[in-house]
Protein backbone atom coordinates (compact mmCIF):
# COMPACT_ATOMS: atom_id res chain seq x y z
CA UNK A 1 0.00 0.00 0.00
CA UNK A 2 1.32 3.40 -0.95
CA UNK A 3 2.10 5.77 1.88
CA UNK A 4 0.75 9.33 1.66
CA UNK A 5 2.92 12.33 0.93
CA UNK A 6 4.26 13.41 4.35
CA UNK A 7 3.34 16.99 3.46
CA UNK A 8 -0.28 15.96 3.08
CA UNK A 9 -0.18 14.26 6.47
CA UNK A 10 1.44 17.34 8.01
CA UNK A 11 -1.17 19.63 6.51
CA UNK A 12 -3.98 17.41 7.68
CA UNK A 13 -2.47 17.33 11.16
CA UNK A 14 -2.36 21.11 11.01
CA UNK A 15 -6.11 21.30 10.49
CA UNK A 16 -6.20 21.45 6.70
CA UNK A 17 -9.54 19.83 5.92
CA UNK A 18 -8.73 19.63 2.22
CA UNK A 19 -5.60 17.59 2.96
CA UNK A 20 -7.54 15.45 5.41
CA UNK A 21 -10.13 14.78 2.72
CA UNK A 22 -7.32 13.75 0.37
CA UNK A 23 -6.27 11.14 2.92
CA UNK A 24 -9.85 9.99 3.31
CA UNK A 25 -10.24 9.58 -0.43
CA UNK A 26 -6.92 7.75 -0.72
CA UNK A 27 -7.54 5.22 2.07
CA UNK A 28 -11.28 4.85 2.46
CA UNK A 29 -11.48 1.86 0.12
CA UNK A 30 -8.75 -0.07 1.94
CA UNK A 31 -10.22 0.72 5.33
CA UNK A 32 -13.66 -0.33 4.14
CA UNK A 33 -12.35 -3.63 2.76
CA UNK A 34 -10.50 -4.34 5.95
CA UNK A 35 -13.53 -3.43 8.02
CA UNK A 36 -15.77 -5.60 5.90
CA UNK A 37 -13.51 -8.59 6.32
CA UNK A 38 -13.53 -8.13 10.06
CA UNK A 39 -17.24 -7.53 10.44
CA UNK A 40 -18.75 -9.28 7.39
CA UNK A 41 -21.44 -6.62 7.49
CA UNK A 42 -21.51 -3.95 4.83
CA UNK A 43 -23.41 -1.39 6.87
CA UNK A 44 -21.21 -1.98 9.87
CA UNK A 45 -18.11 -1.72 7.67
CA UNK A 46 -19.28 1.66 6.40
CA UNK A 47 -19.84 2.84 9.96
CA UNK A 48 -16.47 1.48 11.02
CA UNK A 49 -14.78 3.29 8.14
CA UNK A 50 -16.42 6.56 9.08
CA UNK A 51 -15.64 6.08 12.74
CA UNK A 52 -12.01 5.21 11.98
CA UNK A 53 -11.39 8.41 10.06
CA UNK A 54 -13.21 10.39 12.71
CA UNK A 55 -10.85 8.96 15.33
CA UNK A 56 -7.89 9.72 13.08
CA UNK A 57 -9.09 13.30 12.94
CA UNK A 58 -9.58 13.49 16.69
CA UNK A 59 -6.26 11.95 17.59
CA UNK A 60 -4.11 13.15 14.70
CA UNK A 61 -2.11 15.14 17.20
CA UNK A 62 -0.86 11.91 18.75
CA UNK A 63 0.48 10.52 15.48
CA UNK A 64 4.19 11.27 15.52
CA UNK A 65 5.16 9.64 12.24
CA UNK A 66 7.25 6.91 13.84
CA UNK A 67 5.11 4.23 12.24
CA UNK A 68 3.65 4.12 8.77
CA UNK A 69 0.46 6.14 8.43
CA UNK A 70 -1.34 3.11 6.96
CA UNK A 71 -0.37 0.96 9.96
CA UNK A 72 -1.63 3.58 12.34
CA UNK A 73 -4.84 3.92 10.34
CA UNK A 74 -5.44 0.15 10.26
CA UNK A 75 -4.86 -0.11 13.97
CA UNK A 76 -7.52 2.48 14.54
CA UNK A 77 -9.83 0.79 12.04
CA UNK A 78 -9.38 -2.53 13.78
CA UNK A 79 -10.19 -1.01 17.16
CA UNK A 80 -13.30 0.57 15.67
CA UNK A 81 -14.34 -2.77 14.18
CA UNK A 82 -13.83 -4.53 17.52
CA UNK A 83 -15.91 -1.89 19.27
CA UNK A 84 -18.64 -2.14 16.66
CA UNK A 85 -18.78 -5.90 16.92
CA UNK A 86 -18.87 -5.76 20.67
CA UNK A 87 -21.85 -3.45 20.37
CA UNK A 88 -23.57 -5.83 17.99
CA UNK A 89 -22.72 -9.28 19.14
CA UNK A 90 -24.69 -10.89 16.39
CA UNK A 91 -21.84 -10.56 13.95
CA UNK A 92 -21.33 -14.30 13.94
CA UNK A 93 -24.72 -14.74 12.36
CA UNK A 94 -23.88 -12.16 9.76
CA UNK A 95 -20.62 -13.88 9.16
CA UNK A 96 -22.52 -16.64 7.45
CA UNK A 97 -25.08 -14.45 5.80
CA UNK A 98 -23.15 -11.78 3.96
CA UNK A 99 -20.92 -12.16 1.02
CA UNK A 100 -17.97 -9.94 0.18
CA UNK A 101 -18.64 -6.64 -1.58
CA UNK A 102 -19.69 -7.18 -5.16
CA UNK A 103 -16.77 -6.86 -7.50
CA UNK A 104 -14.19 -7.58 -4.86
CA UNK A 105 -12.76 -10.31 -7.00
CA UNK A 106 -13.23 -10.23 -10.71
CA UNK A 107 -13.57 -13.96 -11.16
CA UNK A 108 -16.82 -15.08 -9.55
CA UNK A 109 -15.57 -18.63 -9.01
CA UNK A 110 -12.40 -17.43 -7.33
CA UNK A 111 -14.51 -15.04 -5.31
CA UNK A 112 -16.73 -17.80 -4.03
CA UNK A 113 -13.79 -20.03 -3.27
CA UNK A 114 -11.94 -17.36 -1.37
CA UNK A 115 -15.03 -16.36 0.50
CA UNK A 116 -15.50 -19.91 1.66
CA UNK A 117 -11.83 -20.28 2.47
CA UNK A 118 -11.57 -17.04 4.40
CA UNK A 119 -14.66 -18.01 6.36
CA UNK A 120 -12.97 -21.20 7.40
CA UNK A 121 -10.09 -19.53 9.26
CA UNK A 122 -10.39 -17.93 12.67
CA UNK A 123 -10.39 -14.17 13.25
CA UNK A 124 -6.92 -14.41 14.81
CA UNK A 125 -5.56 -15.86 11.59
CA UNK A 126 -7.63 -13.91 9.12
CA UNK A 127 -6.51 -10.52 10.43
CA UNK A 128 -2.77 -10.93 9.82
CA UNK A 129 -3.52 -12.53 6.48
CA UNK A 130 -5.57 -9.54 5.36
CA UNK A 131 -3.08 -6.98 6.61
CA UNK A 132 -0.09 -8.68 5.05
CA UNK A 133 -1.40 -10.40 1.97
CA UNK A 134 -4.18 -8.06 0.94
CA UNK A 135 -2.90 -4.71 2.16
CA UNK A 136 0.83 -5.36 1.92
CA UNK A 137 1.86 -4.55 5.48
CA UNK A 138 5.10 -5.99 6.88
CA UNK A 139 5.13 -8.38 9.82
CA UNK A 140 6.24 -5.57 12.08
CA UNK A 141 3.49 -3.25 10.85
CA UNK A 142 0.86 -5.95 11.20
CA UNK A 143 2.16 -6.63 14.70
CA UNK A 144 1.76 -2.94 15.50
CA UNK A 145 -1.79 -2.94 14.19
CA UNK A 146 -2.78 -6.11 16.03
CA UNK A 147 -0.86 -5.38 19.20
CA UNK A 148 0.98 -8.75 19.22
CA UNK A 149 4.60 -9.78 18.81
CA UNK A 150 6.15 -10.15 15.39
CA UNK A 151 6.72 -13.86 15.96
CA UNK A 152 3.03 -14.32 16.66
CA UNK A 153 2.13 -12.55 13.45
CA UNK A 154 4.59 -14.63 11.49
CA UNK A 155 3.25 -17.92 12.74
CA UNK A 156 -0.42 -16.90 12.43
CA UNK A 157 0.20 -15.66 8.92
CA UNK A 158 1.77 -18.90 7.88
CA UNK A 159 -1.01 -20.97 9.42
CA UNK A 160 -3.61 -18.83 7.70
CA UNK A 161 -1.88 -19.15 4.37
CA UNK A 162 -1.46 -22.90 4.75
CA UNK A 163 -5.11 -23.29 5.74
CA UNK A 164 -6.30 -21.18 2.80
CA UNK A 165 -4.07 -23.05 0.38
CA UNK A 166 -5.45 -26.32 1.70
CA UNK A 167 -8.98 -25.08 1.36
CA UNK A 168 -8.39 -23.93 -2.19
CA UNK A 169 -6.67 -27.21 -3.08
CA UNK A 170 -9.67 -29.09 -1.68
CA UNK A 171 -11.96 -27.00 -3.83
CA UNK A 172 -9.89 -27.90 -6.87
CA UNK A 173 -10.08 -31.57 -6.07
CA UNK A 174 -13.83 -31.41 -5.64
CA UNK A 175 -14.09 -29.61 -8.92
CA UNK A 176 -12.02 -32.27 -10.66
CA UNK A 177 -14.08 -35.04 -9.04
CA UNK A 178 -17.23 -33.52 -10.50
Partner 1 sequence: MNCSRARASLSERMDGERLSARHAAALDEHVASCVACLAFRANAERLRQSVRIRPAEQIPDLADRIMASVEAEGGGPRARRRPASHRGSVGRTGRRTPVAAALVVGLVAGSVAVGGPWWRPSGNAVTADFVVKGVRAAARHLDAYQASFRIVERGLPGIARRTFSMRVAFASPGRYRLDVTDETSYPDARTPTDLTFIANGTAMYRRGTLPCPTVIDASACLPSREPVSTSSPYATQASLATDLVVPVDVLANPGRITVTGTGTVLGRDAVRVELPFERAAPLFAFRDVGGTWRPVFGEDRVVLWVDAQRWFPLRATVYPSPGSDRTEWARLFGLPPEDPSRPIVQLAATSIRLVTPPEADFVIPGGVVQPEVPAADLRREVGFEPLTPGYLADLAPASAVVPPDDAGPSAPDALITYASGVSYLRVGERREAGAVTPLGGADLAAERVQLANGVAYYEPATDTRGRRLTIHAGDRDLVLETNLSRDELLQIAATLPVTGERLPRAWLSAKASAGTLTLAQARRHTSFPLRLPTLLPEGYAVETVHLTNTDGVTGVTVTFAPADPNGADRRIDLHVEPATILPATTSELVKVSVDGVPGRWDPHRDELDWIEGGRLLSLRAPGRPLSTVMAMALTIPPAGS
Using CB under 8 A as the criterion, which residues of the chain lie in contact with partner 1 when the complex forms?
Answer: 8, 10-11, 13-22, 24-25, 28-29, 32-33, 46, 49-50, 53-54, 57-58, 61, 101-107, 110, 114, 132-134, 138-139, 154-155, 157-158, 161-162, 164-165, 168-169
Q: Buried b / exposed e across 156-175, counting CB within 10 Å, b at 16+?
A: bbebbbebbeebeeebeeee
Which CB atom, from 89 or from 174, has the smaller least distance to partner 1?
174
Q: Which is nearer to partner 1, 89 or 103 (CB)?
A: 103
CB atoms within 10 A of CB 52: 26
Nearer Cβ to partner 1 (58/87): 58
Report, in Å, the least distance between residue 89 CB and partner 1: 24
Compute the least distance from the CB of residue 62 to partner 1, in Å: 10
Q: Do 55 and 76 form a contact (C-beta atoms < 8 A)?
A: yes
What is the smallest separation between the CB atom of 27 and partner 1, expressed in angstroms? Answer: 10
Give 85 or 160: the residue with its C-beta nearer to partner 1.
Answer: 160
Q: How far is the CB of 168 from partner 1 (least distance, A)?
A: 6
Amino acid sequence: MQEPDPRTVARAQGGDLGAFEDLVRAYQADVFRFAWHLTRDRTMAEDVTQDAFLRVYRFFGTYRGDSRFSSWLFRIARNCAMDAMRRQRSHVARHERERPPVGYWTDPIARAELDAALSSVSDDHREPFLLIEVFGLSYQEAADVLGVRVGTVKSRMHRARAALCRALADEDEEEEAR
